[in-house]
Each structure stands twice: as C-alpha cells, then as structure tokens.
C-alpha cells in the first residue's frame, strides 16, 4: 500500500486552506496574485516554496496572473483588469480617505477608529468606486456616527463633483464618495459576536487610518479571529494622531435616537432610488448580509 509522504500530507492541508481563502475572496468579488494570496492565507502565511505544490493540489489555477477557482476562471481577466487599474487610482484616494477619517475623528470625538475597507483596501479600486469606511465608535453613538459621516461626506463630495461615477455612485448634486461600510460600538468589540473567517478577514484586509492601536486590542481580545488569520496579531502600524476639536459632552447619547430616525429615512430614500436597478439592490443586500448582526437599520 502506498504511503503518503509528510510533504504530500502538508500540501493537502495547505491546499484546503488555499481553497477556503480563495472561496472567501471570491464571495467578495475578487482574487489575488499567488504572492499576495500566500501572505493572507487562512491559517497563516505560506512560504513561496510551499505554494506551487499546494495550488496544484487544491484544484485552483492561476489565470490572468491571479489564483482562482474553476468557477471563477471566466471572470479572471475582468478581475485582473480591475487590479491593474488600482495602482493608478488608489494612492490619491487612500490619501483622501486618510484626511477625511482624521477630520471625522477630529470633529466627532465619539469616533474611536476608522479603517479603509472595500475595493480600495482589497486592491481592485476604480475611480468610479466609492470609498468604504469601517468605524468603531463610543457606545450609544452608532447612528450619530452614520449621520456625521454622511453629512461630512456630502460636504467632501461637493469638492469632488468632477469625480468619475457609475450607476452605483452617481448622485444628483455630488458623487457618492465616502461611505459607511461597518459601524461598531466599543462594547460590540469585547467580545465580538462574530469571530468567523469572514469577519476576521474584514479586519485583516482593512487599512486603519485612525485608531490602529485600538484595533490591535480588539484582535487580541477576540482569539477566534486570530485562529482564522494569525496575521491579525502582527506588528501594529501606528496611525496618525488626531487632535480632537470638540468635547464628547457635546454629543450626549440621547441624540442617537433622532439620528437613527434621520439615518433610517436617508437609508430608505437611497433604497428607493435603487428601485429600478435590481443589481444594485442585490449588491446592497449581499453586503448587508455579510455585516449582520452589525448592519444598521435592520430593525
């Protein structure tokens, strides 16, 4: 009877990790080159020596320079095209997002951390995209944070009316630019109700621009996250400090209730504007499903 070598057994285990990582990425609509996939692999980084055999054993393939499953091979060229354009557009918008995040935290002191998420963080950003932001805020300020981000975002967008847009980001007066992707309260983080691989990857892939030290404490306090991606416990890149312009006392918790009503009305209006675009409604529904139980206005 043939006996598998230790290296073959290791490759089989690694192959399953790669398959799960690629499946996770494809649920989000993108894929990665082999070198980058090795860095963010589920279960921890993979050495370049291990990678070729593991890809071969996994049933995955390299197409258009990225690692994809058989089901995604037809989309590989389109995904690669997005990534090829990322390098030209991303630096400017990352700088814009960092400046916006610092302004948001400066004027609204209940904002603890801000991270860039979505396509700008994952490597598939196009100029027509919006910029997704993940926030952690003080307890009792989730809806205030949503309204604050959107108000400041509108002012910011008015200065960028020449930005290219598509059907998802076109708006009557100014483009959809800085948007809320995920808003957590401090108490939501200790512990996180969700410590699955999708939530762990959300934190791993996002780029902290305010409050990176706080986010490191979140990762350390939720060991289930690092069980999926030990990379979360790596060195912390310090974010720029923020000088608070207003005291927290100006934003008492009772203001969150009217902010929820205002935010919910704005949310429903945005959904109404998408009524004739089923693909946009489907995309929003998918993104919200990945954020539960933290999605706003689910009640």
Q: What is the pLDDT of residues 269-280, one digit of tens each?
A: 888 888 888 888
Across 41-50, 83-92, 166-175, least confident range: 166-175
286, pLDDT greater than 50: yes
**Which percentage of the chain shows pLDDT scores above 90?**
73
Q: Which residues pair with 67 in a beta bridge?
A: 32, 62
Residues 127-183 have pLDDT tens digits of 999 999 999 999 999 999 999 999 999 999 999 999 999 888 888 888 999 999 999
Looking at every residue in the chain, the average pLDDT score rounds to 91
The count of other CB atoms within 10 Å of the CB of residue 196 is: 12
Distance between CA 182 and CA 290 in Å, rounded? 10
- Over residues 225-244, the pLDDT tens digits come to 999 999 999 988 888 789 99
Question: Which of 106, 110, 180, 101 is CA-nearest to residue 138?
Answer: 110
User: Which H or E run contains 26?
Assistant: helix 6-27
Give the side-chain half-sphere CA count within 13 A for 299.
6
Q: Give the integer Cα–Cα distance in Å for 209 and 95.
A: 10
Rounded Cα distance between 231 and 116, Å, is 18
156, 162, 166, 169: CA torsion to nearest 10: 10
Alpha helices (H) in 159-255, listed in sequence order: 197-205, 212-221, 223-228
Tell how strand 131-137 and strand 178-185 pair up: parallel
C-alpha span between 68 and 207 (Å, rounded): 24
Closest CA to 168 of 182, 153, 152, 179: 179
Q: How many angstroms separate the CA atoms of 239 and 114, rounded?
A: 10
Angle, CA 262 vertex, CA 256 and CA 263 arms, to 5°: 80
d(CA 235, CA 266): 39
Instruction: Read off the pLDDT of residues 57-78 as tens digits, 9 standing for 90 and up.
Output: 999 999 999 999 999 999 999 9
| Calpha distance 14→271 (Å, rounded) | 42
- Of 290, 299, 297, nearest in space to 263 by CA: 297
Q: Specify the pLDDT at position 169.
A: 87
Closest CA to 113 of 210, 183, 182, 188: 210
| Residue bearing tokens 């070729």 | 52
Give the list of residues 6+ apart from residue 130 with CB closer than 8 angstroms, or none: 118, 168, 169, 175, 176, 177, 178, 179
């Amino acid at each position: 009877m043939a006996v598998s070598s230790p290296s073959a057994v290791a490759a089989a285990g690694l192959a399953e990790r790669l398959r799960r990582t690629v499946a996770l990425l494809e649920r989000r609509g993108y894929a990665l080159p082999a070198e980058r996939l090795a860095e963010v692999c589920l279960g921890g980084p993979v050495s370049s020596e291990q990678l070729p055999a593991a890809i071969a054993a996994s049933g995955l393939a390299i197409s258009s320079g990225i690692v994809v499953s058989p089901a995604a091979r037809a989309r590989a060229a389109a995904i690669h095209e997005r990534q090829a354009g990322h390098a030209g557009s991303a630096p400017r918008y990352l700088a814009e997002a960092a400046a916006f995040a610092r302004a948001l935290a400066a004027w609204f002191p209940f904002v603890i951390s801000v991270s860039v998420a979505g396509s700008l963080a994952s490597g598939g950003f196009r100029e027509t995209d919006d910029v997704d932001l993940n926030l952690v805020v003080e307890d009792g300020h989730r809806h205030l944070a949503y309204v604050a981000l959107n108000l400041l975002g509108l002012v910011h967008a008015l200065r960028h009316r020449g930005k290219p847009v598509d059907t998802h980001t076109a708006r009557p007066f100014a483009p959809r630019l800085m948007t809320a992707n995920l808003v957590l309260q401090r108490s939501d983080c200790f512990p996180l109700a969700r410590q699955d691989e999708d939530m762990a990857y959300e934190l791993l892939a996002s780029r902290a621009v305010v409050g990176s030290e706080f986010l490191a404490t979140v990762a350390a306090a939720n060991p289930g996250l690092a069980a999926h991606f030990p990379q979360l416990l790596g060195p912390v890149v310090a974010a720029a400090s923020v000088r608070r312009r207003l005291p927290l006392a100006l934003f008492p918790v009772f203001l969150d209730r009217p902010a929820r009503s205002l935010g919910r009305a704005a949310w429903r209006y945005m959904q109404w504007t998408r009524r004739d675009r089923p693909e946009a409604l489907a995309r929003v529904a998918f993104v919200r499903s990945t954020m539960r139980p933290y999605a706003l206005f689910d009640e």
